[in-house]
Amino acid sequence: MSNIENLKHFEKGKSGNPAGRPKGSKNRSTIIKEILNLMVQVKDESTGEDVWQSNEYRMVQAMVNKAIEKGDVAAFNALYDNLYGKLKDTVDMNTTEQVNHDFRKLIAGIKATQ
């Protein structure tokens, strides 16, 4: 059956998937947020006492430890970007400088040094 023939079976205003997704079902991001917000009891390393922490807190704490103790650059970058935002490369196009280059000479100079 071709695509055009398939389209003939659809009625205007009627869903192609009438059963669809059940109402009230949770999507993945909602489930992840719930898991990250769960509170779990862990031992505080500095005091040895049991404390309640969210999974999200524990994950961030693990990333900080990885960045500091193991020198993990990826963990540092993730934390830094989250705190301060990603750095953006910018180019200043407002200049009064007159540029007059002979690009053939520049390319010849580059080729000569290789």
Structural element, H or E, at residue 66? helix 55-69
pLDDT at 75: 95
Tens digits of residue pLDDT in 87-104: 887 777 777 777 777 878
Assess whether pLDDT exceeds 70 at residue 74.
Answer: yes
Q: Who's near 49: CB < 8 A, 6+ residues apart?
A: 43
Taking the model in full, what pTM does it have? 0.56
> Could you give the CA distance from residue 72 to residue 6 in angstroms, rounded to a whole number?
53
